[in-house]
Amino acid sequence: MRDLSGGPRVLLKRLRELMAEPLEPQERLDRIVRQIASNMVAEVCSVYVLRSDGVLELYATEGLNREAVHLAQLKMGQGLVGTIAASAAPLNLSDAQSHPAFRYLPETGEEIYHSFLGVPILRAGRSLGVLVVQNKASRNYRDEELEALETTAMVLAEMIATGELKKLTKPGLELDLTRSVTIDGDTYNEGIGLGYVVLHEPRIVVTNLLNDDADKEIRRLAEALGSLRISIDDLLSQRDVSMEGEHREVLETYRMFAHDQGWVRKLEEAIRNGLTAEAAVEKVQSDTKARMMRLTDPYLRERMHDFEDLANRLLRQLTGYTGRTSGDGFPADAIILARAMGAAELLDYPRANVRGLVLEEGAVTSHVVIVARAMGIPVIGQAAGIVALADNGDAVIIDSDGGHVHLRPLPEHQRSYEEKVRFRARRQEQFRALRAVEPLSKDGQRVSLQMNAGLLVDLPQLSESGAEGIGLFRTELQFMIASTLPKAEEQEQFYRNVLKQAAGRSVTFRTLDIGGDKVVPYFRGHEEENPALGWRAIRLSLDRPGLLRTQLRAMLKAAAGMELKLMVPMVTEVSEITAVRELLQKEVQRLSRFGHGLPRKLQFGAMLEVPALLWQLDELMAAVDFVSVGSNDLFQFSMAVDRGNARVSDRFDTLDKPFLRILRDIVRAGERNNTPVTLCGELAGKPISAMALLGIGFRSVSMSPASIGPVKAMLLGLDVGALSKAMHEALDDTTTPTSMRELLAHFAETHNIPL
């Protein structure tokens, strides 16, 4: 092989000319391999492309038997070519046949060639195929020859990615880039969505691969790196970035990568070999990602994400990318895929078009999940690697019921889920027909079915679902999606809009429940080991009375001339209720003194979420106008189970005797004190658990809007008296280990109750 001064640049220039010519895909590939062989003085140049069935098929060759094209095949991991594809790493061999992975394919006639240089054809770190050169003489290829072949492989990667080779695939087969992939994750909000991928932070598509002036491209790279470094330093110097913690660690890692001279040298070398600055970033990013994906150390794999984020920032600097634009081109059925995202960012999307949300990170308690749940969007989290595997516009199915994401689903999968969605739609039509039906049980028991809400976008569902009112309005969501603390006037206008859209239906506002896992960006708390048990909700509000008084004042003014129902969360002692009542009374007196209108009726309540209140039930009932049971936290605290921890969250059943006995005691305390009791947790939203609540005495429940129909359908066929008798007998029986869930399922089956 001769020493080619500027060889890669000459080769890339000729390849660019070939790409511009109006050629059929096979002819273009054939001429590309001839050009590579000629430029590198190789006796063989071959391109293998990975199919969706895991087979690498010979698509073009110069030097091997032409009859072997589209016939010679190697499985992933099989032979030298399969090893390169599986490892995403090159092989440089002076005697290929002595390598343990060598596999002889008689149809190719390659037994006479000894030297072997093969590189993976990579895109975003994924192997799409393999590019090989071979010679009869035994020798090792030089580093610059390896670099030239890797650079050339980028051109082939774009050919594959743009779908140009689809015409060459055999009937019934597809290339790997279009294969169906299923990723499992955690269910954060149930539901099924069919649609098309919208990447929250889409990868920059580099279309200009080859440069005309290497020095100019190196200057562009230097300017972009300088801007990137300055932006990271600015982020680190901001006051709201703490001196320690995960956020700072990530930024420090970014700064380390941005100043790494080894990385910069690789970028400059790729530019000198003929790539543009952005193509050089994409090449080095893809090579590094391919290597790091093989690592088993979780810390190093996490650094891969940091590196990828940094490289994407640099690409945005180089291409002038300003961000996602909405409007034209946004699919009518969008499934949003993101590494992570904020709650406000989700609300930027056209809500009517969003059919699902898939996150690689996050937790069931993260802000964006809470907002998505309020919007009724199916959500799957911890879907590792999904963003790298997807492209904008890919067909996708999110099955939050089972915790699966089907990317580029097979036709039979698509048909199966389409039928499921149609079935759900038919059921929803049946439920909508029940909207105006009075919620009476079979034996005449009336139950108040209310909905949970937290955003103005939730309000139309009040009429659509047939809910009697809003049993829980989470006021903190307004704070969580805002970048600054909402002013008193903004809060007042917000609450007035809620009451106006409720059109006379009851609305129960929960005062601010921030702190713990609900951290707002402009309110910095202290780091806590157990945030759910820490400085949050009413504890925080009583320590910051100005925050609470502003909210109470806004609610009172917004509800002038109307009924106002408000309740305080996370109450532990009755004395806390007394303290809030005093603040509320001060605001009433203040507004009255200045001539402001006041609510015609004011009801003050408390949420029962902390087990300590179970030993203050009568005092609690006497201190408030109503009680609302927050079953999510009450169950979590009673059973010492972190509901955000997948290893223990399903360890105990909410329908087991201990928790149902706790709930029954609360209902009985409300009855003897003549204090209304409502339950507004997830327990109310499923027909079988709602049935249990009715059986132990609840006559008011609040749930997500989508649950109203199924729960009402169950209620209309239920004999509450007969169920209550069976349940009380089982709960009072301390000798027989009865499964309450089995009892409820059997009762529903024998009485023909839809669950």
Instruction: Report pLDDT for 4.
Output: 40
- Alpha-carbon distance values, 310 to 285, 314, 316 (Å): 10, 6, 10
141 within 8 A of 119, measured Cβ to Cβ: no
Structure tokens at 545: 């009375």
Q: What would the mean pLDDT of 17-29 be, rounded to a whole number? A: 88
Distance CA(312)–CA(125), nearest Å, equals 13
Is 241's pLDDT higher than 50?
no
Pick from 320, 75, 108: which is nearest to 176 by CA?
Answer: 75
Of 65-74, 436-445, 518-527, 726-735, the one with minimum mean pLDDT is 518-527
Q: What would the mean pLDDT of 356-379 be, rounded to a whole number? A: 80
Q: Which residue has the higher pLDDT, 755 or 235?
A: 755
Of 240-254, 276-290, 316-330, 600-614, the one with minimum mean pLDDT is 240-254
Instruction: Report pLDDT for 8.
Output: 67
Q: Which residue has the higher pLDDT, 335 or 422?
A: 335
Distance CA(318)–CA(237), nearest Å, equals 24
- Tell me the per-residue pLDDT of 167-207, one tens digit each, with 9 for 90 and over: 787 776 767 666 778 889 988 888 899 999 998 877 666 76
Instruction: Report pLDDT for 315.
Output: 82
DSSP assigned state of 487: P
Is 323's pLDDT higher than 60?
no
Instruction: Report pLDDT for 297.
Output: 56
Distance CA(35)–CA(38), nearest Å, equals 5
- Tell me the per-residue pLDDT of 28-48, one tens digit each, with 9 for 90 and over: 999 999 999 998 889 999 999
- Tell me the per-residue pLDDT of 411-469, one tens digit each, with 9 for 90 and over: 888 888 888 888 877 887 888 889 889 999 999 999 999 999 988 878 888 888 899 99
270 within 8 A of 284, measured Cβ to Cβ: yes
Instruction: Report pLDDT for 384.
Output: 81
Distance CA(93)–CA(91), nearest Å, equals 6
pLDDT band at 602 (very low <50, low <70, confident <90, very high): very high
Residues forming a β-bridge with 405: 183, 398
220 within 8 A of 318, measured Cβ to Cβ: yes
- Alpha-carbon distance values, 77 to 54, 85, 101, 478 (Å): 9, 7, 9, 53
Instruction: Report pLDDT for 714.
Output: 95
Of 139-148, 556-565, 745-754, the one with minimum mean pLDDT is 139-148
Of 258-262, 335-339, 747-751, the one with minimum mean pLDDT is 258-262
CATH 3.20.20.60 positions along the chain are: 446-750
- Tell me the per-residue pLDDT of 667-676, one tens digit each, with 9 for 90 and over: 999 999 999 9
- Tell me the per-residue pLDDT of 480-527, one tens digit each, with 9 for 90 and over: 777 678 899 999 999 999 999 999 999 999 999 876 556 665 565 566
Range among 73-77, 140-144, 159-163 with highest mean pLDDT value: 73-77
- 446-750 to CATH, choices 3.20.20.60, 1.20.200.10, 3.50.50.60, 2.60.120.10: 3.20.20.60
DSSP reduced 3-state for 326: coil
Structure tokens at 24: 């059929």
H, E, C per residue of 197-235: EEECCCCCCCCCCECCCHHHHHHHHHHHHHHHHHHHHHH
Q: What would the mean pLDDT of 553-563 be, rounded to a whole number? A: 96
Sequence-distant (6+) residues with CB within 8 A of 208 are 276, 278, 279
CATH 3.50.30.10 positions along the chain are: 181-202+327-425
H, E, C per residue of 273-322: CCECHHHHHHHHHHHHHHHHCCCCCHHHHHHHHHHHHHHHHHHHHHHCCC
DSSP reduced 3-state for 72: coil
The mean of the pLDDT values for the chain is 85
Instruction: Report pLDDT for 460.
Output: 85
Is 638's pLDDT higher than 50?
yes
Pick from 700, 717, 716: which is nearest to 666 by CA?
Answer: 700
Instruction: Report pLDDT for 6.
Output: 47
Q: What would the mean pLDDT of 87-114 be, rounded to a whole number? A: 89
Instruction: Report pLDDT for 187.
Output: 87
Distance CA(176)–CA(184), nearest Å, equals 20
- Architecture of the domain whose range is 7-178: 2-Layer Sandwich (3.30)
Indicate the CATH number for domain 214-319.
1.10.274.10
Sequence-distant (6+) residues with CB within 8 A of 89 are 120, 290, 291, 294
* CATH superfamily to which 181-202+327-425 belongs: Phosphohistidine domain (3.50.30.10)
Q: Which residue has the higher pLDDT, 92 or 170?
A: 92
Residues forming a β-bridge with 678: 628
pLDDT band at 1 (very low <50, low <70, confident <90, very high): very low
Instruction: Report pLDDT for 514.
Output: 78
Is 603's pLDDT higher than 70?
yes
Distance CA(141)–CA(143), nearest Å, equals 7
- Alpha-carbon distance values, 702 to 122, 514, 655 (Å): 52, 21, 18
639 within 8 A of 611, measured Cβ to Cβ: no
Distance CA(232)–CA(251), nearest Å, equals 7
- Tell me the per-residue pLDDT of 270-312, one tens digit each, with 9 for 90 and over: 888 888 888 888 888 777 766 665 555 555 555 566 666 677 7
DSSP reduced 3-state for 425: helix
Distance CA(453)–CA(745), nearest Å, equals 29
Pick from 283, 256, 240, 254: which is nearest to 146 by CA?
Answer: 283
Distance CA(607)–CA(631), nearest Å, equals 10
Residue 620: half-sphere exposure toward Cβ, Cα within 13 Å = 30
Instruction: Report pLDDT for 262.
Output: 82
